[in-house]
């Protein structure tokens, strides 16, 4: 049976995987080694030095390529290291058009690291592709999309942006951390690069920090591999193993994240003390139609704003939560709550933040896979 014909729910388990050559280990061993014996200079079994390649990382990279319907996977020491490698495809004078509502760390990397090297970043609301086209000029080399966006849960039409990118011969990269390939596969919609913070849903157990890129094009893969090896921000064998193990249950976890997310979103929407709930599954969500056509379900990420509340009221609610842990990050089996203004998005200036809806009272939930009734009971006691 060719792997290509396997359904997603089988590729999470078998994609790119083979029993280990040495002893037939079903799970790829953690090859905790920096170097490999050569029988003569340059004669080896495909591995020379673990920055360049390590068998456990290779197993993860093959799994990543398989679940994203790509041809080449690259694993990094963090999601930001993966983004860093993509931006290193560019040079001084080049321009990037990015989602305006994006992960705070990506914004910081763009503005505070790469602008110094002469790369310009333009941030736009991408729900209308015409807004993107207005910003394209002869220096534009890359469009950076995050969808659903963080933390406002806007949904961007990947296929429409891809058509635009192709028309102007610009690369399109999609940060697929929130959706995961269970919900959407951007390469199938025309994206050139898929990026992940595998720290989140792919790892799924809040025990590792890893990043990933997946591409279809061989030349692009070679350029990114060159950067990965030359800059050296690789992930280690233990971390590769943990993400590989996480991916094997991705589909089962995601199904429950989506089910619980739906229950929590509706509970919040019907709560008299809640003003706004941001979740793409609502028919009233401005991008619901795109979400419905582009995604297989709506995920477990939800943001909400309590009625008439201030910074302090939001802090009070998140502090009262017991089952939802107050913490940065998302995508683990356990439910987390965050306060973007003081946590994940603190590095974005308040004025910039509020322009896109990240008000001081916004609360973000990563709904885990606990029993939904316990999650509701916890929200009930915290919101009051
Ligand atoms: C966490 C996150 C990142 C950064 O990944 P790290 O693994 O923390 O470096 C990038 N994009 C999104 C959407 C994220 O949630």
- Taking the C-alpha atoms of residue 102 and residue 151, their distance in angstroms, rounded to an integer, is 7
Cα 350 to middle of ligand 1, angstroms: 21
Question: What DSSP letter does each residue of 22-53 carry, written as one string?
Answer: TT--SSPP----SB---SBTTBSSS-SBTTT-
pLDDT-based confidence at residue 310 (cuts at 50, 70, 90): confident
Cα 177 to middle of ligand 1, angstroms: 7
Question: Which pLDDT belongs to residue 72?
Answer: 98
Nearest residue by C-alpha to atom 6 in ligand 1: 79
Q: What is the pLDDT of residues 81-135, one digit of tens each?
A: 999 999 999 999 999 999 998 888 999 999 999 999 999 999 999 999 999 999 9
**Alpha carbon separation from 240 to 125, 237, 339 (Å, rounded):** 34, 5, 30
The position carrying tokens 């509706």 is: 266
Cα 27 to middle of ligand 1, angstroms: 27
Q: Indicate whether 46 pLDDT > 90.
A: yes
Q: Indicate whether 243 pLDDT > 80.
A: yes
% pLDDT > 70, the chain: 99
* Mean predicted confidence (pLDDT) in 274-294: 97
Q: Indicate whether 165 pLDDT > 90.
A: yes
pLDDT-based confidence at residue 344 (cuts at 50, 70, 90): confident
Q: Indicate whether 182 pLDDT > 70.
A: yes
H helical segments located in 42-110: 55-67, 79-87, 104-108
Cα 329 to middle of ligand 1, angstroms: 8
Q: Indicate whether 1 pLDDT > 70.
A: no
Tell me the pLDDT of the chain averaged across its residues. Answer: 96
- Taking the C-alpha atoms of residue 234 and residue 224, their distance in angstroms, rounded to an integer, is 12
- Please list every protein residue whose CB sits less than 6 Å from any atom of ligand 1: 78-80, 103, 105-106, 146, 150, 175, 177-178, 197, 199-200, 209, 211
Nearest residue by C-alpha to atom 1 in ligand 1: 197
Q: Indicate whether 3 pLDDT > 90.
A: no
Q: If you average pLDDT over each of 3-17, 94-108, 244-258, 341-355, which comes out highest?
A: 244-258
Cα 75 to middle of ligand 1, angstroms: 14
Cβ-Cβ contacts under 8 Å for 167 (sequence gap 6 or more): none
From the list 97, 70, 80, the residue with the least C-alpha distance to 172 is: 97
Question: Which pLDDT belongs to residue 348?
Answer: 79
pLDDT-based confidence at residue 158 (cuts at 50, 70, 90): very high
Q: Indicate whether 4 pLDDT > 80.
A: no
* Contact assessment for residue 212 and residue 82, using Cβ atoms and an 8 Å cutoff: yes
The two three-digit tokens of residue 235, written as one number? 């992930």
Nearest residue by C-alpha to atom 8 in ligand 1: 79
- Taking the C-alpha atoms of residue 78 and residue 362, their distance in angstroms, rounded to an integer, is 26
Q: How do strand 301-306 and strand 325-326 relate by DSSP bridges?
A: unpaired
Q: Can you tell me which atom of ligand 1 is nearest the CA of 146?
A: 13
Separation of CA 320 from chain center: 28
Cβ-Cβ contacts under 8 Å for 177 (sequence gap 6 or more): 79, 103, 146, 195, 196, 197, 200, 201, 331
Nearest residue by C-alpha to atom 5 in ligand 1: 79
Question: What DSSP letter does each residue of 320-333 carry, written as one string?
Answer: H-SSSEE-S---SS
- Taking the C-alpha atoms of residue 216 and residue 337, their distance in angstroms, rounded to an integer, is 35
Which long-range CB contacts under 8 A does 49-53 form with residues at least 24 apart? 50/234, 50/237, 51/229, 51/232, 51/234, 52/229
Mutate to test the pocket of ligand 1, among 186, 194, 197 (most ligand atoms within 8 A of CB): 197
Give the residue numbers annotated as catalytic, written as ranges: 51, 103, 175, 200
Q: Can you tell me which atom of ligand 1 is nearest the CA of 331?
A: 15
**Alpha carbon separation from 338 to 12, 96, 310, 317, 380 (Å, rounded):** 29, 29, 15, 10, 17
Model pTM? 0.96
- Taking the C-alpha atoms of residue 178 and residue 22, their distance in angstroms, rounded to an integer, is 37
* Contact assessment for residue 305 and residue 364, using Cβ atoms and an 8 Å cutoff: no
From the list 300, 308, 205, 280, the residue with the least C-alpha distance to 249 is: 205
The phi-psi region of residue 355 (left if phi > 0; otherwise alpha if psi is between -120 and 50; otherwise beta) is alpha
Question: Which pLDDT belongs to residue 212?
Answer: 98
């Amino acid at each position: 049976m060719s792997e290509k014909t396997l359904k997603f729910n089988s590729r999470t388990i078998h994609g790119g995987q083979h029993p280990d050559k040495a002893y037939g280990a079903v799970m790829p061993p953690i090859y905790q080694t920096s170097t490999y014996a050569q029988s003569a200079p340059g004669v080896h079994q495909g591995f020379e030095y673990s920055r360049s390649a390590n068998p456990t990382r290779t197993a993860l990279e093959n799994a990543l390529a398989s679940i994203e319907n790509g041809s080449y996977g690259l694993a990094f020491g963090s999601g930001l290291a993966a983004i860093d490698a993509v931006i290193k495809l560019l040079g001084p004078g080049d321009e990037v058009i990015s989602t305006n509502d994006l992960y705070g760390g990506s914004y910081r990397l763009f503005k505070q690291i790469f602008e110094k090297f002469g790369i310009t970043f333009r941030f736009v609301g991408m729900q209308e592709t015409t807004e993107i086209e207005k910003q394209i000029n002869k220096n534009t080399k890359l469009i950076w999309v995050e969808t659903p966006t963080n933390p406002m849960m806007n949904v961007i039409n990947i296929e429409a942006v891809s058509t635009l990118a192709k028309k102007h011969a610009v690369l399109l990269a999609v940060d697929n951390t929130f959706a995961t390939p269970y919900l959407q596969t951007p390469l199938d919609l025309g994206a050139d690069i898929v990026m992940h913070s595998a720290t989140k849903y792919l790892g799924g157990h809040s025990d590792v920090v890893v990043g990933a890129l997946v591409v279809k094009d061989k030349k692009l893969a070679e350029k990114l591999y060159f950067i990965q090896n030359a800059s050296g921000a690789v992930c280690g064998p233990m971390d590769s193993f943990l993400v590989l193990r996480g991916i094997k249950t991705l589909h089962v976890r995601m199904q429950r994240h989506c089910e619980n997310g739906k229950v929590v979103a509706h509970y919040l929407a019907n709560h008299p003390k809640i003003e706004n709930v941001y979740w793409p599954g609502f028919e009233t969500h401005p991008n619901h139609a795109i979400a419905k056509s582009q995604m297989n379900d709506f995920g477990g990420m939800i943001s909400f704003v309590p009625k008439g509340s201030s910074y302090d009221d939001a802090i009070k609610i998140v502090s009262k939560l017991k089952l939802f842990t107050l913490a940065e990050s998302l995508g683990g089996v356990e439910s987390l709550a965050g306060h973007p203004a003081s946590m994940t998005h603190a590095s974005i200036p308040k004025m910039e933040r509020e322009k896109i809806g990240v008000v001081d009272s916004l609360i973000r939930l990563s709904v885990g896979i606990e029993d939904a009734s316990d999650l509701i009971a916890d929200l009930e006691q915290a919101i009051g």
